Chain A
């Protein structure tokens, strides 16, 4: 019995397809402008696009990024230096043969973008087969030499990690050893988590930047497209992958500008609701106290009940932290005046304030009674609230009696 027959017998899960794909369409250089570049390690395909910095994407010209400031961004990105030059920034995105990482996953397409004079230059490095990887990485490494900052979207967990693996694997010493890495995913999540179901780049692009892609390739299909291209050398779909990669990079530029604007002028730039709340949270962790309150107070007034009540909760906790109880009562009263949400917990918070801080038992008991009647009104007569309120009410009655 020959080996092939035995393998057929033992390896039941994998049935070889035995059909050798013949070339079915044009290769990459026939349908795209780029060039086949060669160096000492071999060759690969390189595509360059140059955009003027007044080119508009996502509502901003690409040159908007010139305005980003250390003071604005240092709160969301670790390690930034006070004085920097935008020409030291390298925007990077990869397309890979799998999402699970490990040494068997390859970045077959690496796209980078950078500013040069008054343009934004976008270069895409494509390996047309596995043996072109060393040449491609060599060239990429030469380019990376001059850059100090790296901008990615989820690059910390994925792209940069994978690229480092590829360099080690090919024993090329990376010129960009430990860049200052601005991963846009993390601030994006904090700002838009509440507003959007998904904080993936394509979702942000549509909902925040209001850019809509036509005939785009879903990321999950990309590895399969590459494997198919290796077989049949038909680059029609690969062309779409390259467009996809290009758009990812340009969107990262707009997104960085957007994040900077939001943090710099939250009231003017945000929707005044979800986004503002997200910005408030960033300020809160950054310790920018006065701005935090302003954001949250504005959110409370927003008229959106979810945003409003979340902002109220943040404000209450800030007041408690600062022992600023009269302000706390003010927020409660204000919240009640909007009449938006479940009033009972707010009334309880207020009753606590009157009882323990203001020591005004009469107003306390009035507030509790208001809460009790609210319970009855909305059909929570026998709820936990009700029993908690009952205890509070009884205690207040005793306290009042003992004072008379």
Chain B
């Protein structure tokens, strides 16, 4: 069977069809072309011509045009639409017109930078021009660095290297900074939250240095489809950004199938394993020689699924070796070999983590199975985009698991297929992040009196820094006056340098398996806690609070632990507030004190409480930003204290799932608490606050999205098939007390808020 026939079989087979909740057929799309702009260097046109490209897609032409006009842009188009040409062509053109021109390419990962530049190399070779492109990152040998600093036209690097390896040594890069014409930021939607807030500040520093050397580079950004690409790129670059999203690339017919495994336990909402379903569907596709990629959520799942598939094809000639795994942790050579095997068609099936989601070149496959929702719509489309050719048909199958988010997506196709609700958010003015980058900036170049670094309060912050004896004001400038090297003291990736390290001590060879932010550590890593990592249970044996280390050992038990957290939240500053007279919404700065007093052991499946223990850890305190909703007591007049509490608890649980969908963050990046009577609002209030001190822009957005949040919550409750509450909607029933129906109580509350503001 070919893919078309396999799809026909899926449609007709009763066993499969009954699990398909949605089947969207996307018709083929014709290409929209535009001619090469006149100003383009002949050598580029000819080089492209020799590769069979005699005109551009409309979005490419528009991008090149806008860049030529001096604009800063963000290009938003789907996978495989030729977006690298949107920056390769203008950069090359600029260098050919003036040999002195320079560009920086920023990629979020090393693997990606290698792959994206190979296309550029081909174009340079084809054009027969002398344009030097170098990768400058942690792996670049010392001996090669000097030549790169002097002669590289295009420096390919990542934000971390820019931050600690290039900017603090800018005097060694004078040629680059004097002539910097373009800064390319690919996959800009990756720079969200803490990482994005850091990048915005790294770019503020870069701009100061460029100004010092007399250049003003333009920004060329690319993003996956999100709700606010221009806003995100604007916040990160500090420029007004023009959006280019008139995708002109062609695509073949595509089938997008939502597959929901059958229920095995209705009350608990537990479904058949998505992994087993993925195995069956992949088997059918691979058996029919349909080149297929399967994405799973974890490295462990990659190995499990590969093992299953290899077993199945054990006896079929040659098939076993045509199924491969791909994930982080494989050696670079092995990865290159698999990528090549995929391009050449020697590999029929590959099971991968999101490592293959980014633009690494593996050719275009026919089918894609996404086992478990990748967390964001943008990621889902990037994964689905791995299957799809410019002509011919392709298919993407999303298999949901039992989690609330998966269930919401699989039963709400409009949410998925409509315009993106997902916002990439950053907060460049987060005081902690800003302050640390101002230190780096002062190290790089003295601040001038009256100079602004993103914020109006720059000079006040500098005075504070002077009091801290880090800088010295003399002769109208603030000079760095400390022995330390500030960029070495901070990482752009981890939320803070106060993270706890999690160490697995099961084997004699101990190894670090993860990190946990300081604030969440007492909840997740207290002694005796069951910590789950990549589906494996571990027990915490020792928590070294002072050294910020948790030692854990593999276990296999039938319970999980739940820490009792006493949270005291106080509002210390209000940024925005809107009181409709009935429902009050606001956002601002809060102080949160959290104390873990005890933990409970809860049996898996039945959720019985089977024991408890004390936790003796110090109280944690953070200052951060929060969004809040206060409900007038007139509504709750008829309700008992328990009912109010249950409704608020249900609302908290559902919001913990809803908010991340709009913020493109992990559930752990925000916290939700409720107060039956808040001392600040004097009424029942729900707070959603950022986990990161100072906030990274979530609360402000939640304030704006207020209505959508509650609409989605309502939809989630309505579409859930349970009787009175389950983990897919308002939370497991055993969390609630009393006899009321938590689902109805929560729905009532949500409905009231929606109708009253």
Contacts and interface: CB of A to CB of B under 8 A. Distances in A.
A169 B445 CA distance: 9
Contacts of A36: none
B247 interface: no
A224 interface: yes
A9 interface: yes
B479 A130 contact: yes
Given A7-B464, A102-B485, A104-B444, 19 more contacts: A3-B461, A9-B623, A10-B432, A14-B468, A17-B467, A17-B469, A18-B467, A97-B482, A100-B488, A103-B169, A103-B443, A104-B442, A104-B485, A106-B479, A129-B472, A130-B446, A130-B472, A130-B474, A227-B482
16 contacts: A1-B573, A3-B457, A3-B464, A10-B431, A10-B694, A15-B468, A16-B469, A17-B468, A97-B481, A97-B483, A98-B484, A100-B488, A129-B472, A130-B481, A165-B171, A224-B483
A6 B446 CA distance: 24
Given A15-B468, A130-B472, A99 B445 contact: no
B572 interface: yes
A103 B445 contact: yes
B414 interface: no
A282 interface: no
Interface in B437-469: 442-446, 457, 460-461, 464, 467-469
Given A1-B573, A102-B169, A131-B474, A7 B443 contact: no
Interface in B522-537: none
A99 B474 CA distance: 23
Given A10-B435, A98-B485, A168 B171 contact: yes
B403 interface: no
Nearest to B466: A16
A4 interface: yes
A223 interface: yes
B136 interface: no
A174 B468 CA distance: 35
Interface string A102-118: 11101000000000000
A164 interface: yes
Contacts of A185: none
Nearest to A15: B468
Given A1-B573, A104-B442, A164-B171, A11 B460 contact: no
A103 B474 contact: no
B470 interface: yes
A3 B468 CA distance: 15
B172 interface: yes
Contacts of B442: 104
A233 to B, nearest CB: 12
Nearest to B430: A10
Given A7-B431, A9-B623, A98-B485, A104 B168 contact: yes
B contact face: mostly helix, strand, loop, or mixed: mixed
Contacts of A310: none
A189 B557 CA distance: 60
B481 A230 contact: yes
Interface of A: 1, 3-4, 6-7, 9-11, 14-18, 97-104, 106, 129-131, 164-165, 168-169, 223-224, 227, 230
A169 B694 CA distance: 34
A10 B621 CA distance: 11
Nearest to B168: A102
Nearest to B488: A100
Contacts of A100: 483-485, 488
Interface string B538-556: 0000000000000000000
Given A6-B431, A98-B483, A104 B475 contact: no
Interface in B97-149: none
Contact of A103 (B444, B457, B460, B623): B444
B474 A129 contact: yes
Contact of A10 (B443, B469, B693): B693
Contact of B170 (A9, A103, A129): A103
B406 interface: no
Contacts of B485: 98, 100, 102, 104
A11 B432 contact: yes
Interface in B615-663: 623
A86 B443 CA distance: 39
Interface string B400-443: 00000000000000000000000000000001100100000011
Nearest to B173: A168
B71 interface: no
B376 to A, nearest CB: 29
Nearest to B433: A10
A131 B475 contact: yes
B337 to A, nearest CB: 40
Contacts of B468: 11, 14-17
B680 to A, nearest CB: 14
B283 interface: no
A18 B465 CA distance: 11
Given A98-B484, A98-B485, A103-B443, A169 B171 contact: yes
B174 interface: yes
A99 B482 CA distance: 11
B480 interface: yes
Contacts of B93: none
A134 B43 CA distance: 46
B366 interface: no
B166 to A, nearest CB: 11
A101 B589 CA distance: 39
B435 A104 contact: no
B504 to A, nearest CB: 30
Contacts of A165: 169, 171-172
A120 to B, nearest CB: 32
A2 to B, nearest CB: 9
Nearest to B468: A14
A402 B479 CA distance: 86
Query: Which 9 pairs of residues, A with B, have the shortest CB-CB distance?
Result: A104-B443, A131-B475, A16-B467, A130-B479, A168-B171, A104-B480, A14-B468, A102-B168, A100-B485
Contacts of B464: 3-4, 7, 11, 16
A363 to B, nearest CB: 51
Nearest to B473: A130
B477 interface: yes
A99 B488 CA distance: 13
Nearest to A42: B475
A9 B624 CA distance: 10
Contacts of B693: 10
B435 A11 contact: yes
A230 B12 CA distance: 84
Nearest to B444: A103
B460 A3 contact: yes
A14 B432 CA distance: 12
B469 A227 contact: yes
A83 to B, nearest CB: 30
Contacts of B484: 98, 100
A5 to B, nearest CB: 9
A10 B623 contact: yes
Interface in B173-211: 174
A98 B481 CA distance: 9
A223 B443 contact: no
Contacts of B472: 129-130, 230
B512 to A, nearest CB: 24
Contacts of A14: 468, 470
Contact of A1 (B170, B474, B589): B589
A97 B485 CA distance: 11
A227 B474 CA distance: 13
Contacts of A131: 474-475, 477
